Structure 1
Amino acid sequence: MTWWHAVIIGVAGIWAGTINTVVGSGTLVTFPVLVALGYPPLTATTSNAIGLAPGTISGAIGYRDELKGYWPEVLRMSIASFFGAIGGTILLLSLPKDAFETVVPVLVGMAVVLVIVQPKVSKWITKRREANGGEHKIGPLLLFFIFLIGIYGGYFTAAQGVMLVAVMGMLLSESLQRLNGVKNVLSAVVNTIAGLIYAFVAPISWPVVAILAVSSAIGGQLGAKIGRKLSPTVLRGVIVAVGLAAMVQLILK
């Protein structure tokens, strides 16, 4: 790895850590960067999962005030994410490498679409909450969806945060800030569990992991402290542009 590769990965890690904390989908920044630098898609995915885990943990810590008094509920949802992440990693490691490389452009495309529609989903969630004063508790349906998103996150991490906020917003009566905090915790669980498994049985670039771990942790704190002051439109625009570029590159390869 050259020094300028390290700089590019470090900048991408800071940006991804910030985006993951504020919006989600930071993987759509780091994944195409790693692929563009010559890393195979599978290695880029597994290295991302491990390297970005400190960033998601950092973001979750940054949102601890929003989660005061809500930790028993967070624990219940974390259990679903835990088992989902295990299922996703087993899926990734069981399927042929060619199958993963074939489906990655589709997954990136799905993630880009989710990022594009996220503002509309947020508006719908807000209107629904205002119209319905009833309280919605954590139920089997929500836990099932979180489990499925955990499988997706263990297999390919991009946009799992957007999915989590959308599902929790539809099935829980909590503020979006609290839901964002929960999203960061659940994403941290998925990335950590998947990363621990990948560390022992999957192809990993440890220099990439080290750079992403430090830079994404810095980004996670930035996202928690000042990320809400950044323009969501700008963040979303960057994610979509990078994601589309990644799709084109992966399809051409």
Structure 2
Amino acid sequence: MLTLSNYFVIALSALAAGAVNSLAGGGTLISFPTLTALGIPAVAANITNTVALCPGYLGGALAQGRDLQGQRKRLWLYIPAGIAGGLLGGILLQITSEALFRELVPYLILLATVLLAAQPLVRTWLTGRTQDAATKPGSDWWGLVPVCIAAVYGGYFGAGLSIIVLAVLGLAVDDSLTRLNALKQVIALATNLAAAIFFLFSGKVIWPVALVMLTGALLGGALGGRMAGCVKPAVLRWLVVVIGLVVAVIYFIR
């Protein structure tokens, strides 16, 4: 039974997650461990976290709508892949036992932490790659299966999904990094929305917690937008990386 003080901690973690997501990414590395630390079962915590933080992806997609112009064919190709992958990931999570998922959690957190740490390297590499169109295949279809596989991971756990999708698009699609980043936002939204809608009927969403987190995350996202000029994303990113490493070690010890 969660207490009023527990809900206060959950609200703060969601506020921090929303702000971190809007500035650097990796908010799940804050909110998900908080839920499990308060005694919420890992699968239910992951499902509740996915549902609560899903609306944040909508803001990111809308903010880059201008860079999606001229990408309608890609959207028709990759959005269904994101939806299919998100649903499959959600189904896999549903059939994963609590004991097995708890064993996987430290590895998933460690993977997400490594992806977050590698984000600047991925972007630097992609910047050079997108400037050399000759290094990429000629068809957007090359990215379909990798995007779908990434979406399966996104529906299952989600942290670091955007980095994986951006790297896949950089390998397969011939376009600028700015336009690929906008496409990535829509794919991530489709993936998380598909998983979240599926989870709505799972019976494992802890609704009081989800509503508190949703409110906190939206406020945190707005706060993060206002702090964009005051906080260096790189500093915040490494702070979250350290938190992720500490949390992963704690899970491994437990």
TM-score (norm 1): 0.88
- Structure 1 residue aligned with 2:108: 107
Letter in 1 for 2:69: K
Query: Percent of aligned pairs with the same residue?
Result: 31
Aligned alpha-carbon RMSD (Å): 2.4
Deviations 1:8-65 (A, max 9, x none): 3233323323433454332112111212222221111000110011111122222223
Cα distance, 1:145–1:207 mapped onto 2, change above 3 Å: same
Offset of residue 4 of structure 1: 3.8
Q: Bigger CA drift: 46-55 or 91-100? A: 91-100
Contact 1:58–1:217 under 8 Å retained in 2: no
- Structure 2 residue aligned with 1:53: 54
| Unpaired stretches in structure 1, ≥5 consecutive residues | none
**In structure 2, how many angstroms separate the alpha carbons of the residues matched to 1:202 and 1:250?**
26
**In structure 1, how many angstroms separate the alpha carbons of the residues matched to 2:23 and 2:173?**
19
Letter in 2 for 1:196: I
Offset of residue 195 of structure 1: 1.4
Contact 2:140–2:173 under 8 Å retained in 1: no
**In structure 2, how many angstroms separate the alpha carbons of the residues matched to 1:19 and 1:66?**
23
| 2:80 is the counterpart of 1:79 | yes
**In structure 1, how many angstroms separate the alpha carbons of the residues matched to 2:153 and 2:186?**
16
By relative contact order (CA 8 Å, sep 6+), the higher-ranking structure is 1
Cα distance, 1:215–1:187 mapped onto 2, change above 3 Å: farther
TM-score (norm 2): 0.88
SS at match of 1:201: coil
Deviations 1:198-248 (A, max 9, x none): 121242211121122223234445556764874221221122122112212
- Structure 2 residue aligned with 1:201: 202
Q: How does 1:1-253 map to 2 (within 5 A)?
A: 1-132=2-133, 139-221=140-222, 227=228, 230-253=231-254
Contact 2:129–2:170 under 8 Å retained in 1: no
**In structure 2, how many angstroms separate the alpha carbons of the residues matched to 1:16 and 1:96?**
26
Contact 2:26–2:240 under 8 Å retained in 1: yes
Contact 1:48–1:209 under 8 Å retained in 2: yes
